[in-house]
Chains A and B, each alone.
Chain A
Amino acid sequence: MGKTLFEKIWDKHVVKTIEGGPSVFYIDKHFIHEVTSPQAFAGLNKRGIKAFRPDQVVATADHNVPTVDQHLPIKEELSRRQVEMLKKNCAEHGIEMYGLGHPYQGIVHVIGPELGITQPGMTIVCGDSHTSTHGAFGNIAFGIGTTEVEMVLTTQCLLQSKPLLMRINVDGALNKGVVSKDIVLYIISQLSASGATGYAVEFAGSAIRSLSMEARMTICNMSIEMGARCGMIAPDETTFNYIKGRKFAPQGEAWERAVAYWKTLYSDGDAKFDRELFIKAEDIEPMITYGTNPGMGIGITGRVPALKDIDEKEKASFQKSLQYMGLEAGSNLKGRKVDYVFIGSCTNSRIEDLRMVASFVKGKQKASDVEVWIVPGSKQVEAQAKQEGIDKIFEEAGFMLRQPGCSACLGMNEDKIPAGKYCISTSNRNFEGRQGQNARTFLASPLTAALAAITGEVGDVREYLGKQVEEGAFIEN
């Protein structure tokens, strides 16, 4: 019987399998950041051992960093101490660190791919649940806890049980104005926030194949929001073209050998999945969330579910969620005012996202009562945006282009949405308090967020795209 993409990579990384238990699973690349690593290093130091394979570990500071005045010391003492501790730990253990001020610094899931560190066939972990992002290149990538960070630092291995396997096929042509963020929000709304727990998910089908690497990363990034252990997409020419020539990509003969191997990484025709779903691309419209988990999403023309349509045992959570959001059951979101627009995070802060927003807002002004934050995913994205003149478009629109970091995705650094305010956000989580205490989040695509920046309210981007074309601007799907 044939193998799935997951099984091909899994089998190559099992050091041994414990009788009746998990497997000792080898990790090729380990990304670390300041928040989930200090206690792991403390464990190593307590045992008096050094990192086992420091060359396979890459560090950056992203969660806790300010996104303005990065040349100055971090104001907040605890944040500064955490970032300094990462620097110290990396120096002591011989780990490369792309800290603040380094031209490669950025959100860990943005820099790995753009530096060519992330490659097909690998096993990749990081003490961050959105590590699933890297799976867009056809590898097994997943988030781990701090004790597991310590395991990987000490032995380059983890104890893992093989998950169930699910394939989600998205076939057909996407509607205009529908981008990869809408695909993944749609899938999660269908499956729920726990619908893929226990599964490794492979995304396949013609609509997935047609996507750029940036767009594929957005989809794999949010696999965790339906509980998946990891998300992955088989590598193809799009993948190879993206990696080729990047800083840490294989060169010359090694490149040829790598590509030859990567071309074997796909699910065989007779491979078995424990669950398989089929989605028609044309069923997907621009999406928005109304609740406090990413599964609570609707099409932009849809309505918040009515209370009578909610399962009895889910009613309490549903009502609590709507109360938090200040929304009515059965209402629609179109036309609802927003206070903040956040375009950034490991989900949507890559150059393609910024280009998409720029092409939509070029020559327009933001709504006067909306604050718009654009936070590039990395120093390289920031530099590229400036080189392309995208920064000027944002400046003319009245947007604030900030410096790279996780920013307002997680209410940890200085960038927080004030209590009670509505933020349309390209990030990945709309949990209570996620963007700041009592902040209210609508998750959406960069296009839908860009529209809200201009009009000050939630809208259907499709109503504006026709006009864009007449004016000669372009929209890339």
Chain B
Amino acid sequence: MSKNINIIRSTSVPLNMENVDTDQIIPARFLKATSREGFGKNLFRDWKYNNNDEMNPKPDFILNNPTYSGRILVAAKNFGCGSSREHAAWAIKDAGFDVVVSSFFADIFKSNALNNFLLPVQVSEGFLKKIFEAVTQDPNTEIEVILEKQTITILSTHEQENFEINAYKKTCLLNGYDDIDYLLSLKKQIEEFETP
């Protein structure tokens, strides 16, 4: 897992679908692994292939279209809804994405993404539309995300928007800190809390 994220500048893959649920991101039958690695190859498995057949890809699916590539996945409203499976975040990260842009993220997915240094960038509906338009018009359009400044910019048009992230999580991502290390450092305080 790559840590310390800050500036991501890349072309993007525009997945213009609403309510993309985690069962689509990684179908349940691939959750039988006991490690965190290797989920990327089954990302959007059933949207990618007909009848689960790798020799029979669905040509209309955007991730099968060689025109689009990059480290940024752009999706429509309510991305990551449904199951709490962290495997969804692992699969997206493992497939080479560092940022997911949407106008709205499901709660649990958002936490899971942040815990895996996959940055969820929430933008307005208007800005999302601009990204889809720019990228569809020119697939080479680069998008720049700067975590420290909390900005996302469409480089071809210089259009920019700020995004929210809580200060604690931002520090973690910028420095590669881990929540578990932090919580472990509070053990004494937690034990005191437990004592009535």
Contact = CB atoms under 8 A, between A and B. Distances in A.
B135 to A, nearest CB: 16
A151 B183 contact: yes
A189 interface: no
Contact of A194 (B106, B169, B186): B106
A434 to B, nearest CB: 5
Given A157-B186, A194-B78, A314-B18, A20 B28 contact: no
A419 B52 CA distance: 12
B23 A36 contact: no
Interface stretch (A37-45, A96-104, A342-350, A465-473): A37-45
A65 to B, nearest CB: 12
Contacts of A365: none
Given A16-B189, A155-B190, A431 B169 contact: no
Given A20-B168, A154-B183, A147 B107 contact: no
Given A159-B183, A433-B46, A229 B17 contact: no
Contacts of A316: 16-17
Contact of B17 (A129, A142, A317, A429): A317
B70 interface: no
Interface in A4-37: 15-16, 18-22, 24, 26, 35-36
A457 interface: no
Given A20-B166, A150-B180, A434 B106 contact: no
A376 B185 CA distance: 43
B115 A148 contact: yes
B23 A39 contact: no
Interface stretch (A76-84, A235-243, A266-274): A76-84
B186 A15 contact: yes
A197 B187 contact: no
B35 interface: yes
A21 B52 contact: no
B86 A437 contact: no
B32 interface: yes
A411 B28 contact: yes
A78 B34 CA distance: 9
A79 to B, nearest CB: 6
A433 B48 CA distance: 13
B86 A410 contact: no
Contact of A144 (B27, B29, B51, B108): B108
B77 to A, nearest CB: 7
A209 B31 CA distance: 38
Interface in B100-146: 104-108, 111-112, 115-116
A26 B46 CA distance: 39
B84 interface: yes
B103 to A, nearest CB: 10
Given A35-B31, A146-B86, A198-B107, A26 B193 contact: yes
A227 interface: yes
Given A18-B168, A38-B35, A432-B23, 4 more contacts: A20-B167, A22-B169, A295-B19, A433-B23
